[in-house]
């Protein structure tokens, strides 16, 4: 169809050109030309329509092809859906069969449960019958128990009356025992003081110098001062009973200048002109501890202190980590506050071992100030030879006056409330160490057995010395 369209169009055009080219167009020819031109116009219009129709046909063909592709895809989806439906039918059939099997099993289990329920009902019935019998038996036993309880209550009432009477007698006996016990406790210090062993002397030798110790027996005493004691301080009480569990040897006097020089080779005393039998003074607590170690070493005894440094840098402390390590040491050592006061009292309970007063004929102290109801005395203003004046019941000299004496304990005003009653010892690190006994320049009230004083362990004073003890 395209070929004839082309030929017709070309021929018409060619004819028009020929006619036009002749230059001489006749009238009839004009009609032909007009017809040809109309035909040409018709051919152009037809050609345009033909082209549009062809375009539409091509588009329709493309739509048909697309529809065909969609139909093919739909067919594939349909086939796949059919396959999945078949698979689902197979799975449903399998699950149905399994459900039927489970239902059959459940049915069998239900039948078995019914049998068990029947058996349980039978057992419950039997249990109810047994319970009924048990209730009847229990009621019978309760009735018997109530009868027995009534009898027991009657017997208990009688026993209670008997016990009350017996308890009253026991209370009377306990009161008598406590009274006797208090009497024995009050007499215990006196009994210890009168012991043939208490105060027994022993002679010791070191480097040709002799010194004496006195045996201090184990025992109990009232440490501190009673509230009504004149001039007492708050750190002396409340007064309490203390037990010393082991006896010990205590030097009968303060360490003398002679003994100190023999052991250490030094002579630190301010009152050196007093003589070799006067107490050594102007020694620190650390120097006293070092002297104890040196004395123990010379006598082949264990050392009770650990010391280091020299001169002003000297520092000492008791051995071990426990109180028992220090108290159990077999060498020479400083007494504890409790050991010192126990020995100084020697079984007495008065402010001094001499009684309520202390004269300067009994001890070296400043007698220019008199205690209440006591006479005044001398003021020697220096130390004197040891054991020049009164001894206590256990043979100890100068436990009142002459020089204060270092003891082992650290000082704290509230220490008595913090310590146990057996072998008390205050080892907490403090700025001060305790000292006891009073000195030549102090009034009598500071020489009381219960009086506590303190100073730094590095201090050295002309009225401060020490004495030692050993197990």
Query: How is residue 137 written in tokens?
Result: 């038996």
E strand or H helix at 435, and its extent?
strand 432-436
Residue 131: inside a domain, yes or no? Answer: no
- Percent of the chain with pLDDT strictly greater than 90: 54
Domain count, the chain: 1
Is the pLDDT score of 314 beyond 90?
A: yes
Residue 73: inside a domain, yes or no? Answer: no
CATH number reported for the structural domain that contains residue 463 in this entry? 3.90.1580.10
The residue that leads in pLDDT, 3 or 272, is: 272
Model pLDDT for residues 407-457, shown as the tens digit of each residue: 999 999 999 888 899 999 999 888 899 999 999 999 999 999 999 999 999
Could you tell me the residue range of the domain that residue 253 belongs to?
196-470
Comparing 170-174, 202-206, 401-405, the range with the smallest average pLDDT is: 170-174
Mean pLDDT (the chain) is 85
Model pLDDT for residues 148-183, shown as the tens digit of each residue: 768 767 776 776 776 677 677 767 776 765 666 565
Model pLDDT for residues 11-44, shown as the tens digit of each residue: 554 544 444 444 444 545 677 677 777 877 776 7
Residue 88: inside a domain, yes or no? Answer: no
Residue 16: inside a domain, yes or no? Answer: no
Upstream peptide bond of 193 is cis (omega within 30 degrees of 0): no
Residue 239: inside a domain, yes or no? Answer: yes
Angle at 324 between CA 318 and CA 327, to 5 degrees: 60
The predicted structure's pLDDT at residue 192: 47
Is the pLDDT score of 370 beyond 70?
A: yes
Residue 46: inside a domain, yes or no? Answer: no
Q: Are 469 and 249 contacting, i.e. CB atoms less than 8 angstroms apart?
A: yes
The predicted structure's pLDDT at residue 19: 45
E strand or H helix at 186, and its extent?
helix 27-194
Model pLDDT for residues 271-290, shown as the tens digit of each residue: 999 999 999 999 999 999 99
């Amino acid at each position: 169809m395209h070929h004839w369209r082309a030929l017709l169009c070309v021929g018409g055009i060619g004819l028009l050109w020929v006619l036009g080219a002749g230059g001489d167009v006749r009238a009839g020819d004009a009609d032909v030309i007009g017809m040809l031109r109309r035909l040409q116009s018709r051919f152009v219009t037809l050609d345009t329509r033909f082209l549009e129709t062809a375009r539409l046909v091509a588009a329709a063909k493309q739509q048909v092809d697309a529809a065909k592709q969609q139909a093919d895809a739909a067919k594939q989806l349909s086939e796949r859906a059919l396959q999945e439906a078949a698979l689902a039918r197979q799975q449903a059939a399998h699950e149905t069969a399994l459900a039927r099997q489970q239902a059959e099993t459940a049915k069998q289990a239900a039948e078995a449960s019914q049998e068990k329920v029947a058996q349980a009902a039978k057992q419950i019935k039997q249990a109810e019958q047994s319970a009924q019998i048990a209730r009847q038996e229990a009621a019978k036993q309760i009735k018997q128990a109530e009868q027995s309880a009534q009898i027991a209550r009657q017997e208990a009432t009688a026993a209670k009356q008997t016990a009350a009477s017996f308890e009253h007698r026991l209370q009377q006996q306990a009161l008598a025992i406590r009274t006797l016990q208090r009497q024995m406790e009050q007499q215990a210090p006196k009994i210890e003081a009168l012991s043939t062993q208490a105060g027994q002397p022993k002679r010791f030798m070191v480097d040709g110098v002799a010194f004496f110790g006195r045996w201090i027996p184990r025992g109990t005493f009232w440490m501190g001062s009673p509230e009504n004691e004149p001039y007492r301080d708050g750190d002396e009480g409340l007064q309490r009973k203390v037990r010393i569990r082991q006896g010990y040897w205590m030097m009968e006097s303060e360490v003398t200048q002679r003994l100190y020089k023999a052991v250490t080779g030094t002579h630190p005393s301010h009152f050196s002109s007093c003589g070799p039998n006067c107490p050594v003074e102007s020694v620190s607590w650390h120097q006293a501890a070092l002297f104890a170690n040196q004395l123990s070493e010379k006598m082949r005894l264990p050392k009770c202190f650990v010391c280091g440094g020299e001169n002003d840098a000297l520092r000492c402390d008791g051995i071990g980590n426990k109180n028992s390590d220090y108290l159990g040491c077999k060498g020479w050592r400083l007494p504890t506050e409790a050991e010192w006061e126990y020995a100084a009292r020697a079984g007495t309970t008065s402010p001094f071992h001499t009684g309520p007063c202390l004269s300067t004929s009994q001890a070296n102290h400043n007698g220019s100030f008199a205690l209440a109801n006591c006479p005044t005395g001398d003021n020697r203003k220096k130390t004197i030879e040891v054991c020049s004046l009164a001894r206590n019941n256990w043979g100890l000299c100068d436990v009142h006056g002459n020089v204060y004496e270092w003891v082992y304990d650290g000082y704290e005003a509230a220490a008595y409330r913090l310590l146990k009653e057996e072998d008390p010892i205050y080892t907490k690190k403090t700025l001060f160490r305790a000292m006891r006994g009073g000195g030549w320049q102090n009034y009598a009230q500071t020489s009381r057995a219960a009086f506590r004083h303190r100073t730094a362990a590095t201090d050295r004073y002309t009225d401060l010395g020490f004495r030692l003890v050993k197990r």
